[in-house]
Structure 1
Amino acid sequence: MRCSWRELSSRCCRSPWHSSWPRDISSRAYPPPDSSRGRVSTKGFQQGSFRWLLGIEDTSVYPQPGSGMVVLDEFELTGHSLQWREDLLSVARLGATGLRYGVNWPRVHLAPGVFDWSVLDERLELAVNDLGLVVIADMVHYGTPTWLDGSFADPRYPDLVAEFCGAFAERYRGLVDHMTPLNEPLTTASFCGLRGVWPPALEGWRGWTTVTLAIVEGIRRSVAAVRTANPDVVIVHVEAASLYDTPHEHLSAEVGHLTAVGALPTDLLLGRVGVKHPMWSWLVENGASVAVLEGLLIAPPTVDLLGVNYYPDLTPRVLRAVGHDVHQHTSNQWTDGLRLVIERFTELYGLPMLITETSIEADELVRRKWLEESTAQVRELRREGHDVRGYTWWPLMDFVDWSYASGGRNVEEFVLDPSTTSGSASETYAERGSSVTPFLRRMGLVSLVEQVTGVLHREDTLAAAAFETEARG
C-alpha cells in the first residue's frame, strides 16, 4: 500500500536518489498515486491567465565509465535529494502556484521497460496533492541513462525516451498533466554534439546535427507516446533564447548563422524545415539525411505552450575577433534583451508562452532588482498583446556550476575572462577541492550556505521576499 507523505515523514527521509542508492535495483511494481485526489486541470495556463512558478535546477548527466568527467547530478550536489521536502515547501511558501521539476531520467529508467518510480511518487504527491502546485515535468535535462551506450546518438534513443515519457504520462495522468519532453534542445546539442562536453561527446557541426536530429525525433515520438497515454496532457516545449551581436563587420555573417541555428531545433520540431528553408542545405552538408529531413515534415507534433529561457547576463553574446579566433563574450542586455526575445518568439511561432527560466547571478540587491524590473517588463509585454502566461524564477536555490564535473574546467561557449586570448576551453572556473562553495552559482531566491559538515543550509535572500510579493499581489 502506498503511504501518504505525512506517514512517510515520520520515517528516515534519506532519499533513494542519494549517492549510496544501490545500482542493482531490480524491477519493482509501485502502485500509482491516487490521482482522484487533487487533480490538476490541464488548463493550468488558460488564455488571459498568469501563473508564478519556481524551478529547481535538475541537470542530470551520468557519463560513461572512463569518461573525463564525473557525475553531474544537481539534486545530489545541492542537497535536494535529502532536503527535497523543505525545498518543495519553500516553493509554496514563496507564493508560487507552479513548479518546473526534473524527473531524473538516468535514475528512474533502470533498463528498457524497467522503472523505479518510488522517489517521484512521494515528491509529486506532496507537490500536487498537498501543496496544490501545477507541476511541469522536466523529462530530460541534458543526460541519458548510462546503459544507453551512445546517449543521444544511440539509434535506440528516440524509442527509449518515448518509452520513458509515455510510461510517466500513464502513471501520473491526472496528477501531472504538463510535460516538457526535453529541456533546451539548443543547449543539449551544444554540450553533447558541438563541443564534446557531455555524452555522446561529439564535436563540430556534424556532431551538432547528429544530436539535434536525434533530439527532435525523440521529442516527436515522446509527444506521440504521451498523448496516447494521456490525451489531456499539455506539452510545454522549452528552448534557450539566443541573442548575438558583434562590433566587427566581418563577423556579421557568423552572427546571422548562430541566430539561424538558435531557431533550428524548434523549426525542425514544428515541421518548418523544407527544401526552401535557408538552413536546409547547411544541414545536408553537415550530415543530415534528406530522407530524415523530409520525414520531419510529416505530421509534426502540436506544441501547446512555448517555454522561453532568458538570462540577462548570460543569454546575450557579443562575438569578438581575437587573433584568428572568435570569442563569445556575455553582454548584459537587462530587460531590453527580454523584450527582444519575447518579440522574436512571438513573430516566429505565434504560440502562447511561458518564461520558463530567468534569474541573474549577482548579489541579493541585484537579484531583487532583476525580479522587479523583469516582471514589470512582462506586464508591459502582456498589455501590448504578447501572450505570456507565466513567469518562472530558475533556480529556486543556488546551484553548482557545471564545470565541477569536468575538473573545474570552463565548459561554457563564452569566455569567463574577456581579457583572455586563449579561448573558453582553456579557462578554469575554480579548483576542485573538498568544498563545493567555490562552484556555487548565486542565482537563487534561496542561498546555499555550506556548513562544516558539508550540508548546504538554505537561507532566503531579499529576492525571495520580492518574489512572494509579486506572486501574492
Structure 2
Amino acid sequence: MMHGFGWILGIEDTCVYPHAGARMQPLDEFELTEHNRRWRDDLKMARDLGADSIRYGAQWPLVHTRPGRFEWGRLEERFDFAVNDLGLQVIADLVHYGTPTWLSGSFADPDYPQVVADYAGSFAARFAGLVDAVTPLNEPVTTASFCGLRGVWPPALTGWRGWTAVTLGIARGIQSSIVAVRDANPHAQIVHVEASAIYEADTEALSEHARHLESIGMLPTDLLTGRVTPQHDEYAWLIENGASAAELDDLVRNAATFDYLGVNYYPDLTPRTLTETGGAVEQHATNQWTKGLVDSVRGFIRRYESPVIVTETSIEGSDRVRGDWVDGSIDAVRRLAAGGADVRGYTWWPMFDFIDWSYASGGRNVEEFQVEDRVVAARTSETSSKTPFLRRMGLVRLEEQVDGSLSRVPTAAAERFALQAKNSTPSGAAMEGH
C-alpha cells in the first residue's frame, strides 16, 4: 500500500443514524461540515496541502439501504475523482461508529458479523483496483464505549456487560470482514485502526485500575487477533461480564491478521490520569505532548509486531498550538523511525474542523470525560448556530458565515504540514523516500 512514507489527511466522517427510540438526531459529519456540497474542493485541498493519501469514510448507514442492497454511486464519483483526477490513494473507512438503521441490534445484533461482512466484501469487489486499502472499523474501543458502555449511540447498551456485548460483536465483525475483503480483492490491504489507551494513577491505590483500563483498551485487537485464551489477563473479567468460553474460543479459532496497524493519538485527549474524589474515580486529560505518541506507537509495535501508520493525530487550540503539534508530532515520528520503528505514514485528522458530536444530542455532553469548561459550555448552548460546536482541531478552520454556511480557511498549521510533506520524509530502516 505505502510506497515509501505516506502523508495522509483525514476528513472527519462520523456517521451515526438513530435507531428507533434513540435520543439523538442524525450525526453525519459530511453533511454537518458541508463536505457533501464541497467535496471536490475539499479533496483538491488535501492534494494541495501535500497529502498523497486520504482517509475517507464510506458511510455505511447510507450505503447499505436494506439487506443485500447497496448504493455506491456517490462513492464511485468521489473515489474516481480522488484517485484518477488528483492522484490520491484512498484508505476507505468502512465503519465509523454507525450501522444501518434496519439492523435493529446494531453492533450487538446476532446478524451483525454476517451483515457487515456482506457489506465489506461487496465494497471490496466493487472498488478493487481503485480503492485497495480498507479499514474494517475505526476505533473499536471508542465504538464500544459510546455504543456499549455509556449508551450514547445504538445499540445504546450500558455498563461493562454492554461493553462486552458490543466488543464481541465488533471483533467477530472485523474477523468476518477481513475474510470477505480478501476473498473479494486479493490485493486488498487491511489497515486496522485503534485508539491509544494511556492511563496513569495519581496514587498507588489506583495503579491497578489504571493498568486494567489500559488492558481493556487492547482487548478488541487482542480478541480479533485470537490472543484472548484462558491465560489472558482479562479472560476471567470478560467471562464475568457476559462473554462465554465458546465465544472466546471461536474468536481464537478465527484469528485475523492485518497488514498495517493504525494508531490514533491526541496529546490533549488520549493520556488520562485517574484521581479519586469522595470515593469516585475520575479521569482527567493529561497532556504528555510527544511522549505519549512515542510510547503508544512503540507499545503497539511491540505487542502486535505490525508496521504502524499514525492514522489520527491533532490537537485542539489556537493556530499556533496546532502548528506546534504539526512540527512536534512529525519530529516524534522521525525519531521513532530513526530508532528502527516500522512507521509507514502520518495522518492529520481532521483536515478541517468538525462539529462536536453533542450537536446531534441536543447539546447533551456526550464526551467520556470533561475536557475543558469552554467546550462543555458550548455544548449546552441552545443557539442554532454551529459556531459554538466547532471543534478547532483542523489544519483548516471552518468559519460560519452570515448565511450559516461554513467557509474553509487554511491556517499557518496547514502551511507547516505542507512544508513538512514537501521537504521532509522521516528516515530509518523501515522507510524509503518517494
Picking from 346, 354, 357, the partner of 1:402 is: 357
Kept after mapping to 2: 8 A contact 1:317/1:331 = yes
Aligned residues: 423
> What CA deviation, in whole Å up to 9, does each residue of 1:106-150 have, x standing for no partner?
001000110111110110000111111111100000000111111
Residues of 1 paired with 2:381 and 2:244: CA distance?
A: 43
Distance of 1:318 and 1:197 partners within structure 2: 23
* 1:350 paired to 2:300: no
The residue aligned with 1:45 is 2
The equivalent of 1:225 in structure 2 is 180
Contact residue 410 and residue 427 of structure 1 kept, 8 A = no
Partner residue, 1:166: 121
For residues 297-356 of structure 1, the C-alpha deviation after alignment (integer angstroms, 9 at most, x for no partner) is 114122100000000000000111121211111011100111111111121111000000
Task: Give the secondary-structure state (helix, strand or coil) at the position aligned to 2:231.
Answer: coil
Amino acid at match of 1:451: Q
Q: Tell me which residue corresponds to 2:417.
A: 467
Query: Among residues 356, 359, 371, which one is paired with 2:314 in the alignment?
Result: 359
1:297 aligned to 2:247?
no
SS of match in other structure, 1:296: helix
Question: Which residue pairs with 1:378 in the alignment?
Answer: 333
Q: Structure 2 matches for 1:47-126, cutoff 5 A?
A: 49-126=4-81
Give the AA of the match of 1:101. Answer: Y
> 1:329·1:418 contact (CA, 8 Å) conserved in 2?
no
Retained in 2: the 8 A contact 1:408–1:431? yes
Query: Are the counterparts in 2 of residues 60 and 106 from structure 1 also a CA contact under 8 Å?
Result: yes
Alignment of 1:149-228 (within 5 A): 149-228=104-183
Counterpart-to-counterpart distance in 2, 1:337 and 1:82: 37
Runs of 4+ in 1 over 3 A off after TM superposition: 416-419
In the alignment, what sits opposite 2:215? 260
In structure 2, C-alpha distance between the alignment counterparts of 1:427 and 1:161, rounded to whole Å = 37
Q: Does 1:324 align with 2:274?
A: no
Q: Which amino acid aligns with 1:461?
A: T
2:387 is aligned to 437
Q: Is the 8 A contact 1:58 1:141 kept in 2?
A: yes
State the alpha-carbon separation in 2 of the partners of residues 203 and 359 from structure 1.
29
Q: Tell whether 2:404 aligns with 1:454.
A: yes
Letter in 2 for 1:267: D
Q: Which amino acid aligns with 1:322?
A: T
Q: Percent identity?
A: 58
8 Å Cα contact 1:409/1:427 also seen in 2: no
User: 1:427 Cα shift?
Assistant: 8.0
Structure 2 residues not aligned, in runs of 5+: 424-434
Give 3-state SS (helix, strand or coil) of 1:261's partner.
helix
- 1:103/1:137 contact within 8 Å kept: yes
Tell me if structure 1 keeps the 8 A contact 2:113–2:169: yes
State the Cα distance separating 1:65 from its structure 2 match. Answer: 3.3
Structure 1 residue 418 displacement after superposition: 8.0
Once the two structures are superposed, residues 147-172 of structure 1 have per-residue CA deviations (whole angstroms, 9 ceiling, x without a partner) of 11111111111111111110000000
What's the CA shift string for 1:67-96, capped at 9, x where partnerless? 211111100110101111110010101010
Structure 1 unmatched ranges of 5 or more: 1-43
Amino acid at match of 1:442: R
Q: Give the Cα–Cα distance (whole angstroms) in 2 for the partners of residues 128 and 417 of structure 1.
A: 39
Amino acid at match of 1:454: G
CA RMSD of aligned residues (A): 1.5
CA distance in 1, matches of 2:337, 2:227: 27
In 2, are the aligned partners of 1:404 and 1:432 still within 8 Å (CA)? Answer: no
Q: Provide the residue aligned with 2:428 in structure 1.
A: none
CA distance in 2, matches of 1:81, 1:286: 41
**In 2, distance between residues paired with 1:299 and 1:399?**
37
TM-score by length of structure 1 reads 0.88
Q: Deviations over 1:383-442 (max 9, x none)?
A: 1000000000000100011111112122122123589xxxx9x98733132111000000
Alignment of 1:261-276 (within 5 A): 261-276=216-231
Tell me whether 179-188 or 240-249 shows the greater mean CA deviation. Answer: 240-249
Per the alignment, residue 430 of structure 2 pairs with none
Q: Is the 8 A contact 1:107 1:145 kept in 2?
A: yes
Distance 1:320 1:429 in 2: 25
Relative distance call for 1:416 and 1:429 in structure 2 (3 A) is farther
Q: Secondary structure at the match of 2:253?
A: coil
Show the counterpart of 1:135: 90
